[in-house]
Amino acid sequence: MKKVLLLSFCFAPIIAFCKGDLQGNWREVSRMNGKSYVTYTDTIFIEFLKNNEYVWQKSGGFIYRGTFKNEAGALDMGMRYFNIISQDNNTLVLKDDAGTYEFRRYTPAVNSPQAKRQEVYAPVNSVQQMAGHWSVFKRTNATKVNDIDYTRQLKWVDFYNAPQDGKWGAFCAQRDADQAPSWFVENYSNQTVYLNGKDRRQFHVIKCENNELIMEENGTTYYFKQFK
């Protein structure tokens, strides 16, 4: 009897994990850094849609759409990668290197930004949609940055209509000479730019329309324009 009870406890988390359905609206209700709860004002809202699509927003921030993979206890959202700590029909707990986040299902108010989806951007399906020279005009960070690394902070990016010597573009840092950017665009898929060069980097493309390009890397969001 004891063995049966022990087995039931062992499998309980697996059963709880498997029975949940992500589709719907989720709101962050708590955040932890290590074992301590932290205060925050940038509450995360996620809506999981059909066909493995999602819509993400932080309070006071922009809304954007992407695709996700939910497999092997992990949630890959392109711009962010989480381990799924627990999941049932009403609660979702995610963890990454920055912290642990608990979400609860909720129904958005009729007039809320989450319901209106006024800032959902069209998908960027190819490099050609971003072709041209883009200069940074604004940058935001999800967390406070004390020391800025100008050897990695971007100054401008180029995207090509067709590959040049196998490269689809170039990314230039603040400390780079304009003639010697540190990275080149190796590939583009699933709204993610894959770079090679000084090292490997990945940027999630959020928006490319109305002469504005927005990309995000590890909590740093870059806003670009094409200046004549």
For the full predicted model, state whether its pTM sits above 0.75: no
Q: pLDDT at residue 143 above 90?
A: no
Mapped to the 3 state alphabet, what secondary structure does the chain carry? CHHHHHHHHHHHHHHHHHHCCCCEEEEEEEEEECCEECCCCCCEEEEECCCCEEEEEECCCCEEEEECEEECCEEECCCCEEEEEEECCCEEEEEECCEEEEEEECCCCCCCHHHHCCCCCCCCCCHHHHCEEEEEEEEEECCCCCCCCCCCCEEEEEEEEEEECCEEEEEEECCCCCCCCCEEEEEEECCEEEEEECCCEEEEEEEEECCEEEEEECCEEEEEECCC
Q: pLDDT at residue 130 above 80?
A: yes
**What pLDDT does residue 16 have?**
36
**What pLDDT does residue 135 have?**
96
**What pLDDT does residue 12 have?**
39
**What pLDDT does residue 10 have?**
40
pLDDT digits (tens, 9 = 90+) for 153-165: 999 999 999 999 9
pLDDT digits (tens, 9 = 90+) for 171-208: 999 999 999 999 999 999 988 999 999 999 999 998 99
**Which is more confidently placed, 27 or 66?**
27
As a whole-number percent, the residues of the chain with pLDDT over 90 amount to: 54
**What pLDDT does residue 116 have?**
47
pLDDT digits (tens, 9 = 90+) for 67-87: 788 888 899 887 789 999 999
